[in-house]
Structure 1
């Protein structure tokens, strides 16, 4: 509430005729550090934005976030060039965004003003839960960075860079309210931090240790950096009761010939499968694959084709992938130890999908010795030979 009042988030007014006040709720969360130690109790006022009407309460709502590829490439630069990498967090980031629309909200539960219980809050700033909140925050932060002389990169609108006299530079990566600041000079980074703190309520996290659930470990002497999701993988295994499972050595065994034939057709079988957290497990695997685990990209791509109607064989395949992670939870991406050169590799199978007979394309790009971009997906058309499949993959 202090943050809301400090940011002049709303004012109390009478609700105009024909307008509806949005409801809200308090959301409570336990914040933990990279070692899963409790750091603070967090309360957040969230607007029930699902009640908003398009054209009345919001218009454009898209907001970009930094690409995972950008994060990995920059960390590759950090390792090979021995750069400084610091981290900051924006407190109540969405409260900084200015609203273009007229939006009304009921008074927060437990903080109704005595004698004005019938009045509502006219929002001056965006709040968590509003559909346009992420976009308004990004617009505010973007205008600040442009005003400081930074430029957005063409490849990623959430990567800002500025070059200074003498060859120094600073790169800032923004993922909603998390940011990494990279540069050669610690003093220049601290100067940017001071400017950010003047305009926004910031928390200085010092040298980067983790970002988006990925742990960052450095060896400055040997110019190496490791990006790991060990703790995330362990939490996923615990969530699906696989922490004691027997490990396997491959992401997907040769015995799995997955197809739509394994999908349940009888209602009784479908009802049994609804009790199995198939989609949730695949989603958890997908996040690991997107961040640091290119080795499971092909396997996750296969099991994700059956999300709408998974069968028992599909679920066994998902558990196999979890068993593979059980034995490889310490696997990580390693950057450094080689020149910062971008290299690409590409391959394809032929008619691997048993339902459509389409081939699967796969590519992987490395930078400074570590993987930075990868993908495994079905091709859009059916290839008539291995040569054609590989030719399609190159495009």
Structure 2
């Protein structure tokens, strides 16, 4: 280990960049500087909640100091349901249970969590005030003669480090310079998305399957499917904070964790992009178009759309990263959406970013302790491409299956899940016990 600390510049204070920062700061011996273009910590805390799967949970556990990890588990509800595949009339095809996802493990690090984006980012920011510079919009980097990397910002300022990490999201300026051929391109799919409040009134008519986990609705024909994800847990979060989870000792304000955590069900109608309305349509127009796509479906699914505030309905065409061949590694690298952005079908984006952060932290800490730096980054990039590009392929495949108009393909998908469900029922039946006859 050298006398001077390893200097790491992180561009972007999203989930992946902050998780990496937490891991490096907690381990010591690393000078971490996070540069965020937004003016303050509150500027980018809004958004839909996140499903953290066991891969993401294990990665987050590796990144967070113990106090923050305990605060995360105490303030993040564990959904009782997994993901259920159902017909347009909500008949069950197959369900991947929570135990299926966690392998039956009771270790919180193997858990599945439904977490407020605001809560997670607030926790990830804890203790990093001295390491983050806001209002720093990245422009470009240059590699110096001594091998160090200098980041240049639009205000004319610079910062120099041994490593520069692009954690600046789907439109990454770092990626555009580092890997200009790794473009982000439009997907063939898109969708509507909105949130329906999950309160006593809506619980009275919503089927239980739509209030306990995730659901993917697969009709036998058409060019659309529907995804829902329930995010209960405000009461549990309030109770955790009231009971005390060490938040004050972490420098956290309980009020900020409670902000924007009302329970809701996220619903999304996923469709071929050609079936989506043009940009600029108002909420009632989007609502009517979404209802038209689910004509004849379960009344509960249609009611979810009609009971939603039209002003909250958004429509977008999905985009995804181009999968490129391995590149020569350097003292610049990227993580998360900056390199493997994917259609939001399957909830893999944030989890992949957390895996990146944990792996890169391990490799940089090895370099801190004397391992060669560029080979350490190369080892990270090799593993990151494995799961990151795998997640892009899986999300793209999910989007394609959700939007195909091919009735044969849809019947095959539905038949596959029915077969899995039948096999599970058969294997779960108690076996008859036979006794050999006495001689």
Structure with greater strand percent: 1
Q: TM-score range by the shorter chain?
A: under 0.3
* TM-score, scaled relative to structure 2: 0.24
Of structures 1 and 2, the one with the larger relative CO (CA 8 A, separation 6+) is: 2
Between Structure 1 and Structure 2, whose CA radius of gyration is higher?
1
